[in-house]
């Protein structure tokens, strides 16, 4: 049971395309896993669709759902047989089932590297405005306490982790900004997460890396 969802404001921004590419990817993956947010996104799409076209067109002549379906259909490649995407990911002898959004973007997932302690990371090439990583925490792992210059979105893909505030399970979505400090940990269970950091320009400069060496583990 997912208990931690994006806010309604975030879902609006997501549908309207106002979020960074990294945050959008984390949100899309959450929506894959969450029927509640799938329903909310469908409602928002319809609301925005009516706002966009409702004032100049007679509403009864417009079926927003059909129009959205037509838009998506027109952008799909035609007469191409889709090859099934590989949805399993292997690490440390374990296999993880990837949600659709990650499976479709599988070719963006870079090689795994060992960070420190019981932490592994695989970068995802998404865009220059955000740094996106799959982070694997083995059992009994601790991420040193850190703050963020910007917005950090984390999604639990599989497993459980805890921080000072709560414990998070499959599908839980956590959004933190520079006001938050936290120290994620795993206990009996391991955890695969997808994490996106929006990158203010100064954050990637050499001096910031020296001041906050841990951040450079996530950023590159």
Query: With CB under 5 A, what is the number of residues at the site for Zn ion?
Result: 4
Window 26-65: contact mask with Zn ion (x via CB under 5 A) = --------x-xx----------------------------
Please answer whether residues 100 and 32 qualify as being in contact, where contact means their C-beta atoms are separated by less than 8 angstroms: yes
Query: With respect to Zn ion, which residue has the nearer C-beta, 35 or 187?
Result: 35
Stretch that binds Zn ion, among 3-11, 88-96, 141-149, 160-168 (CB under 5 A): 3-11
Strands 173-176 and 152-159: antiparallel
Using alpha carbons only, give the angle 155, 73, 100 rounded to the nearest 5 degrees.
25
Least distance (Å) between residue 124 CB and Zn ion:
21
Least distance (Å) between residue 157 CB and Zn ion:
14
- Nearest CA to 191 out of 216, 169, 163, 215 is that of 169
Least distance (Å) between residue 46 CB and Zn ion:
18
Least distance (Å) between residue 2 CB and Zn ion:
6
Please answer whether residues 51 and 159 qualify as being in contact, where contact means their C-beta atoms are separated by less than 8 angstroms: no
Query: With respect to Zn ion, which residue has the nearer C-beta, 34 or 132?
Result: 34
Query: With respect to Zn ion, which residue has the nearer C-beta, 5 or 121?
Result: 5
Least distance (Å) between residue 169 CB and Zn ion:
13
Window 123 to 152, contacts with Zn ion (CB under 5 A): none
Stretch that binds Zn ion, among 1-9, 99-107, 113-121, 132-140 (CB under 5 A): 1-9
Interface with Zn ion, residue 5, by CB under 5 A: yes
Angle between the N-to-C axes of helices 64-75 and 35-53, in degrees from 0 to 180, rounded to the nearest 10: 100
Query: With respect to Zn ion, which residue has the nearer C-beta, 34 or 143?
Result: 34
For residue 29, with 0-12 CB atoms within 10 Å meaning exposed, 13-18 middle and 19 or more buried, which class applies? Answer: buried
Q: Tell me the H-state helices in 89-200.
A: 100-104
Least distance (Å) between residue 6 CB and Zn ion:
6
**Separation in Å, CA 149 to CA 13, 129, 177, 197:** 21, 13, 7, 9
DSSP conformational letter for 146:
B
Question: In the complex, which residues of this chain contact Zn ion (CB under 5 A)?
Answer: 5, 34, 36-37
């Amino acid at each position: 049971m997912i208990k931690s969802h994006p806010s309604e404001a975030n879902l609006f921004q997501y549908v309207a395309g106002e979020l960074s590419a990294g945050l959008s990817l984390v949100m899309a993956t959450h929506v894959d896993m969450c029927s509640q947010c799938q329903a909310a996104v469908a409602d928002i799409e319809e609301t925005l669709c009516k706002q966009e076209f409702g004032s100049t067109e007679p509403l009864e002549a417009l079926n927003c759902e059909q129009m959205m379906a037509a838009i998506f259909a027109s952008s799909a490649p035609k007469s191409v047989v889709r090859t099934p995407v590989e949805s399993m990911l292997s690490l440390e002898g374990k296999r993880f089932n990837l949600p659709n959004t990650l499976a479709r973007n599988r070719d963006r997932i870079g090689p795994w590297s060992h960070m420190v302690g019981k932490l592994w990371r695989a970068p995802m090439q998404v865009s220059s405005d955000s740094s996106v990583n799959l982070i694997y925490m083995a059992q009994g792992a601790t991420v040193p306490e850190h703050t963020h210059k910007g917005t950090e979105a984390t999604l639990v893909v599989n497993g459980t982790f805890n921080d000072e505030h709560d414990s998070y399970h499959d599908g839980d979505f956590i959004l933190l900004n520079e006001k938050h400090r936290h120290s994620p940990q795993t206990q009996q269970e391991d955890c695969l997460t997808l994490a996106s950091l929006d990158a203010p320009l100064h954050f990637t400069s050499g001096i910031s890396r020296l001041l906050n060496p841990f951040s450079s583990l996530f950023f590159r």
